[in-house]
Structure 1
Amino acid sequence: MIDVAAAVIRRTDGRILLAERPAGKPWAGYWEFPGGKIEAGESVLQALTRELHEELGIEIDRAVPWITFEYAYPEKHVRLHFWRVLAWHGSPHGREDQQLSWEDPRAVAAQPLLPANEKVMRALSLPSIYAITNAGKLGVEPFMDRLRAALARSVRLIQVRERQMSPDELIRFAKRVVETARPAGARVLVNGDMAAALHVGADGVHLQADQLMKLGKPPAGFWAASCHDARELARAAELKASFVVLSPVLPTPTHPEAAGMGWDRFATLIHNYPLPVYALGGMKPELLDTAMQHGAHGIALLSGIW
């Protein structure tokens, strides 16, 4: 097993930096994320700092852990440790005569990609905010007004979770959410009900933890799951969920007696985890930076987004 540090260097316009493997190296002509082998005694961040200086001539100012997964190439088995580089100084340039390209992860023009990177692009298409509907508290019509306002603020991933609604009410409500969200380019998942998600034309289903643990085979396409411990996280990874939500991180107004796992436990649970993870429980938009420092892809919000 070869451990590799890989950097997701992302500009403020959302484009990420890819490098073409030069002639003479295995997979020459394929595009990849900058990085390289972690040497003995190095941490991931130390390896990334060295590699980006050697390859691109830049120095890292701020980087956070993201996802880690294994991939078996015909000639070697690698464990890829991806970190997101959020700030750097210097202008990236190919110090090893490699070509560079800033790419939109939703439509990568630089081809072909190294095979291991396909799943990384799918993960990068996920926004940093996962918004959970709250019509039960706000009322349906006031919520729809707030949904339109949130879409105007670039909310692009929504979970319909309204447990107080009857099945018919949920169908009608979810259909309205999908019809409102889709023109804005937002994706919608329906909590706990695969049939309802299909019926209303949602993008996927979000499974509750007990559903996840009973699942024989995963749903087709885009889907997510709620997790609360290492066992549930492992099952979601085994079934290759698109992403997971891990909770509760902090106390919430609805469950003030539950202390939450805290950020240290959250980081321990998702250390070297292969899927994007959203933190849930006591989240506010201003905690996004803290969540990312502890390895989260983003945060899930119920009351703090509408």
Structure 2
Amino acid sequence: MTPLVEVAAAVMLRADGREFLLAQRPAGKVYAGYWEFPGGKVEAGESVRAALVRELQEELGITVTACAPWLTRQFTYPHATVRLHFWRVTAWEGEIGITAPLEHAAVEWQECSAAASVAPILPANDPILKALRLPTMMAITLAEIEGIERQLERLQAALGKGPKPGLGLIQLRDKGLPPAQRLSFAEAVVRLAHDAGALVVINDDAELARRVGADGLHLSSAALTACIVRPDFAWVGASCHDAGEIAKAGELGLDYALLGPVLPTPSHPENPGLGWHEFTQRITGNTLPVFALGGLRHDLLATAQAAGAHGIALMRGW
């Protein structure tokens, strides 16, 4: 049995969130020439955050000033099994050595929304590269309450601001609409979203998702419980209530989860919600991106990400 090595991995993001950094392993190391996220082994008695800060100081000559946990993945190589603790790093002091990296053969900035332009990349990082393509703001439709026409007007206005860093992912819910209305609404949503470069997932209706050319499927918590194999879509997510459901979503290889409500909502103001501390506790060690849901606004995105969320899902606030 190969030893388990704890590793801190840095997802270095530019201020606008559009690019991330990859580093090339130098000659003389295992997998020399392969590209990876900067970072390194967590030493005995050291926290993941402390290891991250130390490694980036040693490797890139920078001092981290803002970072937060994101995903945890385990991968077995021939020489070792690694548990990779991926942290987003969003602010630092000092200049990254682009022309003369300190401990790497090279470093390159890559676009989050596109396939990596460098190769080969360590295989443990494939799910992370896909997760970086996932927008950080999801809109959940409420056509049953607001009406279809008003929803489409609001959606067009929101998408007009650009899918990144604004709205980039739409979950079409509205399961109570008559089938014909839900179909025409879904077709209109997909047209608007795709024209703006945004993704659409359909809640609990694989047939409708395929019919309208949606990008994926969103499972309710009940559908997640019944699911035994990942549905065959490019993007699949699920609504979750606890760490166990998030873990199952990860085991199925889903692309994201929703967890909430975090704060009181207009529909249930008497429910205080999980709060940010409990939200963080429930997603600790998650293997897939988790959106915070419930009572949120655009200006709480940074707060959610500091608590470990990938992004936020908005029902009324988008």
TM-score normalised by the chain length of structure 1: 0.97
Residue 102 in 1 paired to residue 132 in 2? no
Measured against aligned partners, the alpha-carbon deviations of 1:245-298 in whole angstroms (never above 9, x if no partner) come to 011111101012222111111101111110000000111111111111111000
Residue 28 in 1 paired to residue 36 in 2? no
Residue 70 in 1 paired to residue 74 in 2? yes
Distance in 2 (alpha carbons) for counterparts of 1:144 and 1:228: 29
Q: Which amino acid aligns with 2:8?
A: A
Give the match's secondary structure for 1:45. helix
Over the residues paired in the alignment, what is the CA RMSD in angstroms?
Answer: 1.1
Match of 2:197 among 185, 202, 212: 185
Residue 169 in 1 paired to residue 184 in 2? no
CA change 1:96–1:234 in 2 (3 A) is closer
Q: Which amino acid aligns with 2:169?
A: L
Distance in 1 (alpha carbons) for counterparts of 2:105 and 2:54: 17
Q: Which amino acid aligns with 1:121?
A: L
Distance in 1 (alpha carbons) for counterparts of 2:39 and 2:264: 38
In structure 2, the partner of 1:82 is: 86
Give the match's secondary structure for 2:108. strand
Give the match's secondary structure for 2:308. coil
Give the match's secondary structure for 2:72. strand
Q: Which ranges of structure 1 fall in alignment gaps of 5 or more residues?
A: none
Distance in 2 (alpha carbons) for counterparts of 1:234 and 1:80: 16
Cα deviation, residue 233, structure 1: 1.3
Residue 91 in 1 paired to residue 95 in 2? yes
Q: Which amino acid aligns with 1:112?
A: P
Give the match's secondary structure for 1:27. coil
In structure 1, the partner of 2:131 is: 123
Q: Which ranges of structure 2 fall in alignment gaps of 5 or more residues?
A: none
Distance in 2 (alpha carbons) for counterparts of 1:101 and 1:163: 44
Cα deviation, residue 75, structure 1: 1.4
Cα deviation, residue 153, structure 1: 1.6
Equivalences for residues 270-281 of structure 1 within 5 A? 270-281=283-294
Runs of 4+ in 1 over 4 A off after TM superposition: none
8 Å Cα contact 2:136-2:168 kept in structure 1: no
Measured against aligned partners, the alpha-carbon deviations of 1:73-108 in whole angstroms (never above 9, x if no partner) come to 121100000100111111111112521111113221
TM-score normalised by the chain length of structure 2: 0.94
Measured against aligned partners, the alpha-carbon deviations of 1:192-228 in whole angstroms (never above 9, x if no partner) come to 1111111111111100000100112110131100000
